[in-house]
Amino acid sequence: MSKNPNVANAIVHVNNTDREEVAIIGGGCFWCIEPIYSDLIGVEASISGYAGGKAETADYESVCSKTTKHVEVILIRFDPQVVSYEEILQIFFSVHDPTTPNRQGNDSGPQYRSAIFYTDERQKEIAEKVIKDFAPSLHDDPIVTELLPFSPFYPAEDYHQDYFNKVGDRNPYCNFVIKPKVSKFRKSFAGRLKSNQT
């Protein structure tokens, strides 16, 4: 039995349309990736959660035990007429290290591996292209990002949602790990941010 009350809201099927699409990516601790996409114009929701595991449920404690094989991920609901799936992935490779298996900085374990969960064949083809042609232009070492078919997405516990914006400066991890990533993103993509709209 999961200790996560949000598993009842698991997403087991995705139906992309020309007005709403879903991307699921894992690039280390979901606290680091979620605030990046939540501020991107065209993104309607950025939800921390778990995907890709062997267990039929997921909660933070069991995922961190490294026995379920889930990845900490972000589910991104976006308007593809405003921001494309390819752009979502280009940002993804700009804000995390896709060259080290099972690790982002000091965070290590299979739950922190770099992964893309495609929700249809078109997404798979775009992801293959970005991994082959774009990601190597940003990183010297080989790309180890896993490209995997969609699997059930389990929203993380409520206290993980919007963590950086809620906790921010009160948490040393936020200050030393998340803040530099978010600052780099906001500088590089200043024209694409909701927070910069007037």
Q: Domains of the chain, with CATH numbers? A: 15-189 (3.30.1060.10)
Contact by Cβ (8 Å): 47, 155: yes
Asked if residue 66 has pLDDT above 80, the reply is yes
Confidence at residue 57, expressed as pLDDT on a 0 to 100 scale: 85
Taking only Cα atoms into account, the Rg of the chain, rounded to an integer number of angstroms, comes to 16
User: What rounded mean pLDDT belongs to the chain?
Assistant: 94
Catalytic residue numbers read 29
Contact by Cβ (8 Å): 49, 106: no
How far is residue 188 CA from its own chain's centroid? Answer: 18
- With cut-offs at 50, 70 and 90, classify the pLDDT of residue 168: confident
Share of the chain above pLDDT 70, in %: 96
Q: Enter the tokens of residue 187.
A: 């500088």
